[in-house]
Structures are given as C-alpha cells and as structure tokens.
C-alpha cells in the first residue's frame, strides 16, 4: 500500500490525518510574514468579519487579504484529501488564521465545525490545518477524539462538560510545515497555550456545495480580488453559483462553539 492510500484509510477510520513536510519553507515564510502584517494592521478588529475568540488572535476573510492565500488555494496536493471526505463537489467555506497567545489562550470545548452532523448524503464539512509553528505538548496543540466523526452526534449534545479531557482524546504534536486534514464532524478543539511562545496555524475550511459557506465569499471579496481569480478559483469559492448565493446569504457565520 502506498503512503497516500494509508493516509486516506486513516482519514476514514480515525477522522484525521497528519502529513509532515507538506508546506514548503518558502510558503511557510510567506504565510507567516503576511499573517503577522495583518495582525499588526488590523489590531483589535482582527477577525471581526467572522468571530473573535477571547484569549487568542483570529483573522478572517483571508482570500481577500493577500496573494499568498490564493496561492494556497491554487495548490492541488491537498485536494484529493478534501475530495475523499466530501466528494468532488465541494467549495471553500472559510479561510482563517488562529494565533494562540502565550499564557493567554484557554482550552476550547470539544466541538464539530459548524455543529455539523452527517446527513443522508454523508459528510459535509472538512477542515485543513496548516501548521506554521511547531505544535508541542504545551503550546496549545489540537486534540481529537478518533472515530467520533462516525457517531452522528455533537459533543454539546452528549457531554456534560465539553471543556473536560475526553478519555479517548489524542493530541497532534507535530513540526511546523505539517498539514492536518480533518473530517470536521470529528470532535476536536485547541488546547490552552501554557508556553512562553505563540502558536500559529492557517485554517482552510471546506463544505459540500449544497451547504452554506461559513463565510459568504461573494459578499466578502472585493471586486479587485474577484477580477484576479482564475476560473478554477472562482468555482472553488462558489462565486458564480446561484445556489450558494441562496444558501450562504442567509445561513453563513456559523461556528462549532463561538457565539
């Protein structure tokens, strides 16, 4: 069995897969530089297009905020993993960055992204997490409950305390440059950053084409950005999709735990 088949099997069974050495050093550098500049420019307003999270930094609407983010979407090496979860008919739901501040970012409750539960067609959300810092035992790594994507339940409906440690949870400890692909029905969360250094990741989130985008791209993207996009990226962003307009104009801005 080749490694790609093993990754897909792991994604099926455990609900997530870690792929090390996925992001080139140059792309990591460019992403970090642009994200750091955006945090400096946006200040207290950072993340306000979607939701701000107490104790950490967030950026939203990143497709509109730099060519490097559109370069990420133009890559093809992540696409087979997303298609494996969602089928070939998927679209970008949102692109965000999350910065776990040292000694300030608290533990998140276990959640499924957008509170999603699989429907009669199957899974409809998939997240990719691009590690721009090492994820360590102390700096707010992610935790997962393997196999929970198959349960068709959310932690909020089943657990008395989604903040508590789950007896089956595992943590992602991995170097910068890694990619985590996650069936986003999986129960997961970020942990508290107890270290003296920040921890940065890019979150590129996808959904099935018959579901609303988390962040309605056509309403968020400037005309200048839209005019620069290739046909491939326009399709990925659902910019010319009347069904997406109908769905996302009314139902976007959903989160698994942020209110």
Q: What are the extents of the domains in the chain?
A: 3-251
pLDDT of residue 259: 60
Residues 38 and 49: beta-carbon distance below 8 Å: no
pLDDT bucket at 2, cuts 50 / 70 / 90: low
Distance CA 114, CA 186 (A): 11
The conformational region for residue 46 under phi > 0 = left, psi -120 to 50 = alpha, else beta, is beta
**Model pLDDT for residues 53-104, shown as the tens digit of each residue:** 999 999 999 999 999 999 999 999 999 999 999 999 999 999 999 999 999 9
pLDDT bucket at 105, cuts 50 / 70 / 90: very high
Q: Identify the CATH homologous superfamily for domain 3-251.
A: q2cbj1_9rhob like domain (2.60.120.620)
pLDDT of residue 70: 98
**pTM, to two decimals:** 0.96
Concatenate the DSSP letters of all residues of 14-63 into one string: HSEEEESS-S-HHHHHHHHHHHHHHHHHHGGGTTTTS---TTEEEE--GG
What does the pLDDT average to over 25-40?
98
The conformational region for residue 9 under phi > 0 = left, psi -120 to 50 = alpha, else beta, is alpha
CA distances from 175 to 136, 216, 237, 255 (A): 8, 32, 29, 27
Instruction: Tell me: pLDDT of 1 over 60.
Output: no
Beta sheet of 16-19, edge-to-edge order: 16-19, 179-183, 125-131, 199-208, 90-100, 56-59
**Model pLDDT for residues 107-162, shown as the tens digit of each residue:** 999 999 999 999 999 999 999 999 999 999 999 999 999 999 999 999 999 999 99
pLDDT bucket at 203, cuts 50 / 70 / 90: very high
Q: Among residues of the chain, what percentage have pLDDT more than 70?
A: 97
Average pLDDT of the chain is 96
Instruction: Tell me: pLDDT of 258 over 90.
Output: no
Distance CA 255, CA 259 (A): 7
Distance CA 43, CA 117 (A): 35
What does the pLDDT average to over 156-176?
97
**Of 259 and 147, the one with more pLDDT:** 147
Q: Which segments within the chain are labelled E, that is strand?
A: 16-19, 56-59, 90-100, 125-131, 142-144, 170-171, 179-183, 188-190, 199-208
Residue with tokens 């939701």, as numbered in its chain: 51
pLDDT of residue 254: 74
Q: Which residues pair with 180 in a beta bridge?
A: 18, 129
**Of 58 and 252, the one with more pLDDT:** 58
CA distances from 129 to 23, 82, 199, 252 (A): 11, 12, 12, 21
The burial of 199, by beta-carbon neighbours within 10 Å (0-12 exposed, 13-18 middle, 19 or more buried), is given as: buried
């Amino acid at each position: 069995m080749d490694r790609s088949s093993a990754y897909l099997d792991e994604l099926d069974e455990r609900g997530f897969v870690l792929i090390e050495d996925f992001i080139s050093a140059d792309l990591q550098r460019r992403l970090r530089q642009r994200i750091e500049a955006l945090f400096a420019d946006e200040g207290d307003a950072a993340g306000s297009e979607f939701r701000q999270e107490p104790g950490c930094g967030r950026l939203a609407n990143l497709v509109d905020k730099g060519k490097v983010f559109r370069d990420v979407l133009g890559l093809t090496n992540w696409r087979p993993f997303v298609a494996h979860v969602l089928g070939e008919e998927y679209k970008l739901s949102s692109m965000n960055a999350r910065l776990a501040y040292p000694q300030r970012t608290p533990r998140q409750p276990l959640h499924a992204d957008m509170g999603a539960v699989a429907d009669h067609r199957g899974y409809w959300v998939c997240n990719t997490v691009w590690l721009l810092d090492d994820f360590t035992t102390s700096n707010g790594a992610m935790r997962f409950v393997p196999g929970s994507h198959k349960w068709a339940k959310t932690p909020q409906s089943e657990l008395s305390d989604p903040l508590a440690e789950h007896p089956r949870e595992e943590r992602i400890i991995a170097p910068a440059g890694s990619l985590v692909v996650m069936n986003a029905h999986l129960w997961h969360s970020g942990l508290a950053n107890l270290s003296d250094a920040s921890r940065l990741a890019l979150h590129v989130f996808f959904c099935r084409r018959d579901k609303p985008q988390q962040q309605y791209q056509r309403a968020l993207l400037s005309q200048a950005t839209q005019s620069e996009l290739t046909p491939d990226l326009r399709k990925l962003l659902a910019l010319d999709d009347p069904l997406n307009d109908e769905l996302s104009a009314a139902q976007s801005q959903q989160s698994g735990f942020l209110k």
